[in-house]
Chain A
Amino acid sequence: MPRKVHVQTTINGETAEFLCEPRQSVLEVLRDVLYLTGAKEGCNNGNCGACSVILDGRLVNSCLVLGAELEGKSLETIEGLAEPDQLHPIQDAFLENAALQCGICTPGFIVAAKALLDQNPNPTEHEIRYWLAGNLCRCTGYDKIVRAVQDAAKTMSSEVSA
């Protein structure tokens, strides 16, 4: 077995340390080493987006980044979105709009939507669809997901202006 690598990084605002094999992806580290299982494996080759995380402000598929690359970086995962007593507005919007069925793609969609709204607070429907095209959902037909992101954008911009 290859010798493990020591990595120090920031996950959801807190310092995290772990040992991983050089061949393990960020997704494997999150799920199998740190037991943060909110990021899901749907394809393990960057085509489904179920493992979406935000790495130094950029939306990435965690199955395509090696765990060792997290050294000195900052990672946001689905586990970091909600406050202890309050869901993130995108999470609320997904629930209000019934934008999930089986829920396996949901963490990835919510993380991807957050990355979108972080940089474009008022996206058009087309911009939402374009941005989320890297996330596959097989249950919903996307209608309610797009509406949820539209609603979340409205809520978040009214919170900012209030």
Chain B
Amino acid sequence: MADKKEYKVVGTRPIRHDGVDKVTGRALYGADFHAVGLLHGRVLRSPHAHARIKSIDTSRAEAHPGVRAVVTAKDFPEVEDKIADLGEGAANLKDLQDNVLAGDKVLYKGHQVAAVAAIDPHTAEEALELIDVEYEVLPPVIKVLDAMQEDAPLLHEAMKTDEMGEKADKPSNIASHFQHKQGDLEKGFAEADVVVEHEYTTETVHQGYIEPHNATALYNADGHLTIWCSTQGAFAVREQVSEILQLPVSKIKVVPMEIGGGFGGKIQVYIKPIAAMLSMKTGKPVKVLMSRADVFEGTGPTPGSYVRVKMGATKDGHITAAEAYLAFEAGAYPGSPVGAAAFCVFSPYKVENGQVDGYDVVVNKPKTAAYRAPGATNAAFAAETVIDEICEKIGMDPLEFRILNSAKQGDIRIDGPPTPHVGFVETVEAAKDHPHYSAPLEGENRGRGVASGYWPNFGMASSVAINVTADGTISLVEGSTDIGGTRAAIAMQAAEVLGIPAESVTPSVVDTDSVGYTAVTGGSRTAFATGYAAYEAAQDVKRQMVERAAKLWEVAPEEVQFADGMFSTVNGKEQEIDFKGLAARLDETGGPIVGRGTANPDQPGPSIGVHVVDVEVDPDTGKIDILRYTATQDAGKAVHPSYVEGQIQGGAVQGIGWALNEEYIYNEKGEMTNASFLDYRIPTCLDLPMIDAVIVEVPNPGHPFGVRGVGETPIIAPPAAIANAVYRAIGVRLKELPMSPGRVLKTMGKI
């Protein structure tokens, strides 16, 4: 269906439609929302990592002047113990409710316990100090391997391991163990000339979006609840709030405000149901905002993990066997991204003999949430550095090794499904051909490393409606919150179909009552799947416009063709009219035109990235500097290349932060000790060079323009690429993330 085509709009770089609002400060984000009579809510959080709640007394807070309502878990309705699909990861609703306001136990420092609505934020903060909670403090367990021990403190006393489909007989912190297997592992390792096996650990890291979570809710006397908030998925908020508060979805309207970053972390709800409960009690609109510390301590980061990878290869570079053991911290409730890690760990490669074991383990940390290619980065850090060591041992160029072992369409993956149409070889070749890869790198303590990252991408449901305007423009109504320029990427796909400029589209992201169901902005799906729905809606408009032209010219619709923005009659060029001209004549040909499109595409097309990095290590301090960075990635077809580059650059830099210094630091009480942007240090522009983003285009046959999602892949490769570069710089292999100065010096044997 899609091959390398030239387009008029797709592939160009128009100014984004929401741009002026965002550079002038006029765009309204969740926290910017204001309503008459607004009350302000604040949340009391657990000071302990693990404790039983013996009692909560809210009477002093309720009596505080200016306080209008207090809520605790007692105010929740009963919910079923069932799993809900949240778009980018599923969650048990009882767990979700318990995570929103703790019931019998608090399971991490920062766990929400109670909330107050008051006349202003400071009064609400004062009132939190007047809530008396009596705790019985329990021993915490913070690290995945500790939590897996038989004598570890149990978070959920009744939870038993799902051991490959069978329930174990004893309670455990291991929520589940699964296994994928293919071929004959023993035979594969016996055929290998080189076998490399290592253990790796990674720490908890946060998405680090700059905008804290926010929600304003208004519950009306007629039973209708409206929530204004920043979210990756207005419909996902609606579903979760509906289940948590046991309200029908039709009674809830979620209005997505502009969103200040999410990266997977703004799908799960935390304070939205609380704002709703406070509004139900007061009858007033209630705005609840998180502080930065709340965000670090109380919202889902991505897991710390223990990963062991063993790989064998022949001396001419063929992988003969690969094995991975993945133990992931789910946080306080089951549901780490270990499943995604398992299908990504060896997916770029053809592995005939393989086994992957995954363990989902609860620990006394916030429940993990999705974070850009969730799970894949942890896994790739291990697999891609093992590969680097194999290449060193057999004397093979690491990019050649990747081309030689690349999985082709139809090759069966260890986890079962066949490899879809991928552009891995083309992406590796782009890295190999880039001047960076062959540039000399001189100087002491400097090294170059490479690594690749694989992400399958997601499709899922999207809806779009298009209204044709009399001046020849269209308004495009969509349900995907725009987190990084997707209004433009979606509008451009409709414009391409209709032969109009991108500027002739007015895209609007609307509330859940005003557009059909649309899944979250996540899974690298928005430009792909909502773009697909926009394509379908534009096709619907085109069909109707053809009928109008036929009516105008008194010919059969089959006699009207549409090409290059022009409607004309098939036989010769007796009649022609452009989109704008015809749009002005809708009234006389039958009235308004509304096009509709829905999509639930099942071939998102994986996106693979290959990164090349030069580092310099300071042997005295252990600090790693990034000297040069090149990231190549298959975008299928880049709809708006500037924003595709932006995704690649931003993802790479998040990966660099993860590689070099980001981590939750815990004390022995299980308290995070660095819950601020000062101490949890994300990269600043001074830490970085320019990031050269190279777009490779191997069209995805599952999309009319060949689009593949690009958002998640670029975070995967950086830690492994940097570790491989560090090895070439100083001769030691780092197997712990982050590769902070202390860990570098320790690995060098200097401390």
Contact = CB atoms under 8 A, between A and B. Distances in A.
Contact of A104 (B15, B29, B122, B691): B29
Interface in A1-57: 1, 21, 23, 31-32, 35-45, 47-48, 50
Nearest to A28: B121
A47 B685 contact: no
Contacts of A100: 19, 22-23
B436 interface: no
A145 interface: yes
Interface string A125-161: 0001110111111111111111100000000000000
Interface stretch (B381-389, B411-419, B648-656, B731-739): B648-656
A3 B18 CA distance: 41
Contacts of A79: 24-26
B643 A136 contact: no
Contacts of A133: 684-686
A38 B122 contact: no
B212 A41 contact: yes
A120 interface: no
Interface in A55-112: 77-79, 81-82, 87, 91, 94-98, 100-107, 110
A141 B649 contact: yes
Contacts of B66: 1
B263 interface: yes
Contact of B31 (A40, A48, A144, A146): A40
B83 interface: no
A103 B260 contact: yes
A141 B631 CA distance: 12
A105 B210 contact: yes
Contacts of B163: none
B650 to A, nearest CB: 5
A141 B23 contact: no
B301 to A, nearest CB: 14
B25 A130 contact: no
B164 interface: no
A48 B22 contact: no
B677 A136 contact: yes
Interface in B436-486: 483-485
Nearest to B122: A23
B606 interface: no
B29 A143 contact: no
A93 B281 CA distance: 48
A82 to B, nearest CB: 5
Contact of B210 (A50, A96, A146): A50
A37 B212 CA distance: 15
A35 B20 CA distance: 19
10 contacts: A35-B34, A47-B292, A82-B24, A97-B642, A98-B645, A98-B646, A102-B210, A102-B258, A141-B652, A141-B688
Given A43-B677, A104-B211, 11 more contacts: A38-B26, A44-B291, A91-B23, A98-B645, A101-B485, A101-B643, A103-B18, A106-B23, A139-B646, A142-B653, A146-B685
Interface of B: 13, 15-16, 18-20, 22-29, 31-32, 34, 65-66, 120-123, 207-212, 258-263, 289, 291-292, 483-485, 640, 642-643, 645-647, 649-654, 676-678, 682-686, 688, 690-691, 693
